[in-house]
Amino acid sequence: MSESVEEVSGFAVMGLDPRLMNALGYKDPSPIQREAIPVLLEGKDLIGLAGTGTGKTAAFALPILHRLRSVPTDKPGVAVLILTPTRELAIQVAKAVKTYGKPVKIEVMAVYGGTGYVEQIRSIQRGVEIIVATPGRALDLIRQGKLPLDAVTTVVLDEADEMLNMGFAEDMDAILSATPKDRQTMLFSATMPPRIEEIAKRHLRKPVRIKVANELPASGEVAKVRQTAYIVTRDNKSKALGRILDVEQPASAIIFCRTRSDADGLVDVLTNRGFKPQALHGGLTQYQRDQVMGRFRSGKADLLVATDIAARGLDIAQLSHVINFDLPTDPDQYVHRIGRVGRAGRAGVAITLATSREQSGLNQIERVTKQKIVIAPIPTAKDLNVSQIDRTRQQLREALAKTDGLNDLRELVGELGQEFSPTDVAVAALSLLRAPARPEDETDFPPAHDNRDSRDSRDSRDNRDNRDNRGFRQEKSRPGTNAVEERSKAGRRTASHGMARIYFGIGRDAGVAPRDLVGAITNEAGVLGKDIGSIDLTDRFALVEVPHALAEYIVETMQGVRIRGRNVTVRTDRPPLQSSKSEGRVPLGA
């Protein structure tokens, strides 16, 4: 006598359409699914605090699909709008929803920037029930009248805090304001900064709150993720990483960099060391990104060198190593990165390269994650040699197990054995396999200072305190106001403590919004949106607050960057000069 599915499946008792459960491929719901699905099936709004890997996509997709087929509607058109921070995540979510919805024949499509409008508009006009979109492209289509929202019954904000970090807060507000007031709204976020709380208060109706812990390895799996940090000077980072990889020999790894230029430079260094790396960053077209991921997944590339934003939403099955070429700016980011290894009980390695000044950041990560990060010395030339010998030993053992059919080589060994000892013949043969020694492989790295017990600097604390208090200031110009007057007005406010201001020679007259500036800085310099302070936006220019320690680096990185199709002057802000006149200040020209 067989047990019925309803008696063993946690999904069945929720009342979901049986066809949806058949498409899942598993029977037991995750914590977020177990708590969210019943609430969403009742049509209630929901705030779900959950990170990547918790199963939140199915948590909101299954109730949406069920209600689309069980609750009749007389309005044709787009019924569900799902917003995600990146096109990779939009594609990933759309693919998952399409898979879940296949048995009930739901039309799903992804809409994102970086591609033409024509085909996306045609698909919407042909008829689609669920759209998964990035906020910028969705808002563009809405304003063009190409994405009608009058039939929308459900809106999902997926990874809302990341959309905030990327400067999409105003877009989220505008999109939610344009949808029907009686819609069901779901907000999923790893954290709840004040700006997201404000959006939730304005647009959600008596939401049910659900919280699921961050994706840390289970207690039995902690030891399977080896977490190691190496203290190294910035100038030696690339060479040190090459040495570490030579010793580790990862089967497949993702290396996180702060900027696209770091990623491209690192690819060159690693290629010269014999690895097969591929860069993934915001400078690639969608076709190029697909090519890169295809090579990585097929094994034609063994290292993926990526910026955080470019890697957002990537679905990579089996990684052996995650490497932080730059220390993450907050513990949640670290947890998200290392959560990509050690899954399903598999062993994994998480490696971080940090300068001596960044060790307080390592201490903070340990406090939040309650896991030890071992500080290890950079492998020496001797360590590298031992690693190479161990690897050769293993290769020989594997080759000795497959010597059938090599009689011609046996004859050669026998012939040489008449002139030389068998040991000398074997050593000479192995020497042919060894790669020529590189000068850097014969020297060791100078020791870096170990400041593990140092406290966070005052500036670092102030910067963290300011992360969630960023505000956008748009200076309103009077008719006839010139650039000098605007500069004087915007320049009256000094930068916050621990912050510096950067001048961008572009403003509202060019159609620029705060999100354009935040997006440019996060994409080009790799700085998290939450680390960007207030933005003073005028008709002709903008002043953006950034952490003082990163100001020169950001200015250097942003040289030659185009915003809204224009070349933009970027420099550190020059505040107005003091004057002896009663006005107190004489503005510099913009």
Residues 156-194 have pLDDT tens digits of 999 898 888 777 888 999 999 999 999 999 999 888 888
- Residue 575's pLDDT is what? 55
Total Cβ atoms within 10 A of residue 22: 11
pLDDT one-digit tens code per residue, 60-109: 999 999 999 887 677 788 999 999 988 878 888 999 899 888 888 889 99
Helix, strand, coil percentages (3-state) for the chain, rounded to 5, are 45, 15, 40
What is the pLDDT averaged over residues 385-392?
71
If phi > 0 it is left, if psi is from -120 to 50 it is alpha, else beta; for residue 472 that is beta
pLDDT for 584 beyond 60: no
The CATH H-level (homologous superfamily) assignment of domain 5-211 is: P-loop containing nucleotide triphosphate hydrolases (3.40.50.300)
Could you please report the per-residue DSSP string of 259-290?
Answer: SHHHHHHHHHHHHHTT--EEEESTTS-HHHHH
Among the listed ranges 91-100, 130-139, 247-256, 391-400, which one has the minimum average pLDDT value? Answer: 391-400
Return the biggest CA–CA distance within the chain: 102
- H-helix or E-strand spanning residue 305: strand 303-307
Q: Which residues pair with 155 in a beta bridge?
A: 81, 185
What CA–CA distances, in Å, run from 283 to 204, 263, 280, 417, 558? 36, 11, 8, 58, 13
What pLDDT does residue 43 have? 92
Average model confidence (pLDDT) across the chain: 78
pLDDT tens per residue across span 561-571? 788 878 888 88
pLDDT band per the 50, 70, 90 thresholds, residue 53: low
Residue 198, pLDDT > 80, answer: yes
Looking at the predicted structure, is the pLDDT value of residue 484 above 50? no
5-211 and 458-586, same CATH topology: no
Section 504-521 average pLDDT:
87
Identify which of 269, 329, 336, 327 has the alpha carbon closest to the alpha carbon of residue 303. 269
Predicted pLDDT at 476:
41
**Is a pLDDT exceeding 60 seen at residue 334?**
yes
Residues forming a β-bridge with 133:
83, 111
Q: How many other CB atoms sit within 10 Å of the CB of residue 450?
A: 12
Q: Is the pLDDT of residue 344 over 60?
A: no
Report the C-alpha gap between 40 and 158 in whole angstroms.
Answer: 15
CATH fold of 458-586, please?
Alpha-Beta Plaits (3.30.70)
- Residue 348 confidence class, pLDDT cut points 50, 70, 90: confident
Separation of alpha carbons 499 and 470, rounded Å: 12
More confident residue, 372 or 341: 372
- Band of the pLDDT at 404, cuts 50, 70, 90? low
pLDDT score at 21:
75
Return the CA Rg of the chain: 28
pLDDT of residue 110: 93
Spans of all domains in the chain: 5-211, 222-380, 382-435, 458-586
Angstrom distance (rounded) from CA 378 to CA 231 = 8
Fold of 222-380: Rossmann fold (3.40.50)
Distances (CA, A) of 113 to 73, 141, 302, 550: 30, 11, 29, 28
Give pLDDT, residue 387: 67
Reported as a pLDDT band with limits 50, 70 and 90, residue 556 is confident
Q: What angle, rounded to 10 degrees, do the helices at 87-101 and 56-70 form?
A: 50
The pLDDT tens digits of the residues spanning 431-462 come to 766 655 565 666 666 656 544 433 333 333 33
Point out which residues pair with 250 in neighbouring strands: none
CA-based nearest residue to 557, from 283, 168, 165: 283
The answer to whether residue 4 scores a pLDDT higher than 50 is: no
Name the E strands within 97-237.
108-111, 130-133, 154-158, 184-189, 208-211, 225-231
The separation between CA 95 and the C-alpha centre of its own chain, rounded to angstroms, equals: 19
pTM: 0.57
Facing residues of 254 across strands?
Answer: 304, 322
